[in-house]
Amino acid sequence: HADVAMYHAKEKGRNNYQFFNAAMNEKAQSQLSLANKLRVALNRKIIHPHYQLKVDTQLGKPVGLEALARWNDERGKPISPVHFIPVAEEHGLIARLGKSVLNQVCIQIRMWQDMDVEFGSVAVNLSAQQFRDANLLNDIKEAIEDNRIDPTSLEVEVTENMVMDDVEDAIRILNDIKEMGLKIAIDDFGTGYSSLSYLKRFPVDTLKIDRTFIRDLSIDNDDAAIVSAIVSMAQKLEINVVAEGVETQEQVEFLRSINCNVVQGFLYAKPCAGGEVPLVWHRMIEEFEE
Ligand code: C2E
Ligand code: MG
Ligand code: MG
Ligand code: MG
């Protein structure tokens, strides 16, 4: 859109162009240049998933992983997916990016299966556009078949808002994914606008409580109440719960007191490269055994 607008402004004369150029906000400009860099990065295949452990503090062991896209610029500085995922969506690059992450994850799973490495399951984040993309099911099916992986070792994460956008359609897509054997998690739970009655209709295995609720658990009684309510509701619906962004022992203790045992956060592990996962996984088990 910006390109077209610029073209028209340019046609009207230099002044208009300059006016438009100046008026074009900084954000749009930096997004445009980020989109160009992203295109190059995709061509060079330098965006790779890293993996963060999910830990069961009751069982005292890791139970799975979440794949998180990682991209370093030419100077080696990381660019956050918080920035480049929306840009990928706005500039028609999300399909390629999403497919690339999915394929790399499936290749990694195949390697771990071959090496008899424990990893539980791997969750892949889907973006809103990816979720509604008619090719999604085929892409997943292909990635699974090409790499001969067990579909139950793969999980997708979608956000509340993504499924609430068109509930009937979302239920259909989620059922199809579920039928292939994958597990389904609702990410950033609590930040969106899903209602409990809908939750029952979605074939959901896991709710991931957004880290904004976990962050202030020990000082904010409201957050503690919300998290407790989510956990007890999920238990009644027989849905698993994962607490995101756990950084302190205090948070773990509160979560354990309300029977929320599976957590993900820097307290236990930061996302790491696929090659490091076996080491991190086993170190974690040893730490719990001490
Ligand atoms: P998310 O799916 O909710 O992922 C969790 C984010 O929280 C990750 O950020 C992770 O590094 C971060 N995190 C984990 N533990 C802690 C903690 O203890 N403290 C804090 N402060 N943060 C923690 P990351 O990797 O920057 O990703 C941000 C978001 O970008 C993700 O949120 C997800 O929505 C999106 N994203 C990342 N990779 C992909 C991808 O491959 N595809 C899509 N569509 N989205 C992705
Ligand atoms: Mg996620
Ligand atoms: Mg999340
Ligand atoms: Mg998030």
Q: Is the minimum distance from the CB of 101 to ligand 1 under 6 angstroms?
A: yes
Is the ipTM above a cut-off of 0.90?
yes
Please give the pLDDT value at position 16: 58
First to last CA, the chain: 58
* Contact predicate 155/203, CB 8 Å: no
What local confidence, expressed as pLDDT, does residue 258 receive? 97
Nearest ligand (C-alpha, residue 54): 1
Beta carbon of 245 within 6 Å of any ligand 1 atom: yes
pLDDT lower than 50: segments of the chain? 1-6, 9
Which protein residue's CA is at the shortest distance from atom 4 of ligand 1? 68
Most informative mutation of 42, 70, 125 for ligand 1 (most atoms within 8 A of CB)? 125
Is 188 a pocket residue for ligand 1 (Cβ < 6 Å)?
yes
Q: Which long-range contacts (CB under 8 A, 24 or more apart) does 197-200 make?
A: 198/163, 198/164, 198/167, 199/237, 199/239, 200/237
Q: Which residue puts its alpha carbon closest to atom 23 of ligand 1?
A: 245
Q: Do 187 and 206 touch, CB atoms closer than 8 A?
A: no
C-beta of 68 in contact with ligand 1 (< 6 A): yes
Calpha distance 52→67 (Å, rounded): 7
- Backbone dihedral region for residue 190 (phi beyond 0: left; psi -120 to 50: alpha; all else: beta): left
Could you tell me the distance, in angstroms and rounded to a whole number, from the CA of residue 19 to the centre of ligand 1? 38
274, with CB counted inside 10 A (0-12, 13-18, 19+), is buried
Give residue 211's pLDDT: 95
Q: Is the CB of 80 under 6 A from ligand 1?
A: yes
Query: Does 18 contact ligand 1 (Cβ within 6 A)?
Result: no
Q: Which ligand is nearest to the CA of 209?
A: 3
* Cβ proximity of 215 and 208 under 8 Å: no
> Ligand 1: which atom is nearest the Cα of residue 188?
3
Please give the distance, rounded to the nearest whole angstrom, from the Cα atom of residue 68 to the centre of ligand 2: 8
Q: CA 66 to CA 173: how far, in whole Å?
A: 21
Specify the residue with its C-alpha closest to ligand 1, atom 17: 245
Ligand positioned closest to the Cα atom of 85: 1
